[in-house]
Amino acid sequence: MSKIPVILDCDPGVDDTLALLLSHQLQELDVKAITTVAGNAPIKYTFRNARNVMDYIGANVPVYKGADKPLLRSLRTAAHIHGEDGMGGVVLPESEQHEETEAAWDAIHRIAMEEMGKLTLIAVGPLTNIALALSKFDDMQKLIKRIIIMGGAAVGGNVTPYAEFNIYVDPEAAEMVFASGIPVCMCGLDVTMRAYMSRAEIEELMALGSKEAKLFHDVEQKALAVYDTLGRPGVALHDPAAVLFTAYPELFQGKWCGIRVETKDKSTCGKTVTDLFRDKKFEEQNTFIVTDVDRDAFVKKVFDLMGKYER
């Protein structure tokens, strides 16, 4: 089987941590690099957290530091879900691996050139790094096969009534990505709120007995508490949904549509405007929007992948 070469662009972040845990066990993916961006927490934490997680699980993948703020706006973080340091109160040993100094957007372009048009970007944080690569390198459109993002929503939002967090943090970057001409797959709230695990399922997963399973359990506890107050049946695995979609698209449903991003209006800023439910369509159907998931099969995949870690 030919593996899919990918870069995981992330802002760890508790669900980013789960995405890193799962991606390491996905035989379908060839993870070339991890790039980090400010989002759930400031860049000093997201870069450190990614390095620490990868070191903790024994993944020999380089981690690159990216943008410390959005293109045009002040940074907004999500400490109420992820904690001030992005790890929900979990403390990992500090990585002793070599610290990469190449900027994330330069690493993205370099690896894309090496992969000669085969590279997939999985972007599960604000899209600042990718926007910077697009603005710096004229050949990015032909070098990237597709961009799979966790972000946006056809309906609703989670940081405002209209906007999802990753898009809201840097809407200008998101608009650049959707308008880039590169095929985009959007795993937004429409699907990720369906890709959840209950408290009981997370407790069952910890019983697998590995240190990685314990990390999966522990890092989600703060988020679980928030979801409990919202009356949700479990915690949404937002970023893992994008990673698993990349490897197992058969578990998901969706449709091609047009999407652009509102950047001007204050009340709706960050909204992913789609023609999915409209008679009037955009001229270009630039995005495959993922709208549903077989939750039982999704959860089983999570258990299967986490079960590969040794006790």
Tell me which H or E stretch contains 235.
strand 235-236
Instruction: Retrieve residue 275's tokens.
Output: 């023609």
CA 79, 167, 150, 231 torsion: positive or negative?
A: positive
Strands 196-197 and 235-236: antiparallel
Find, among 98, 96, 87, 90, the residue nearest to 44 by Cα.
Answer: 87
56 sits in the region (left: phi over 0; alpha: psi -120 to 50; else beta) called alpha
Contact 111, 33 (CB under 8 A): yes
- Strands 119-123, 144-150: pairing kind: parallel
Candidates 24, 82, 217, 238; catalytic one: 238
- The verdict on whether 217 is a catalytic residue reads no
Among 196, 197, 194, residue whose Cα is nearest residue 291 = 194
Angle between helix 295-306 and 199-206 (nearest 10): 20
User: So which residues are the catalytic ones?
Assistant: 238
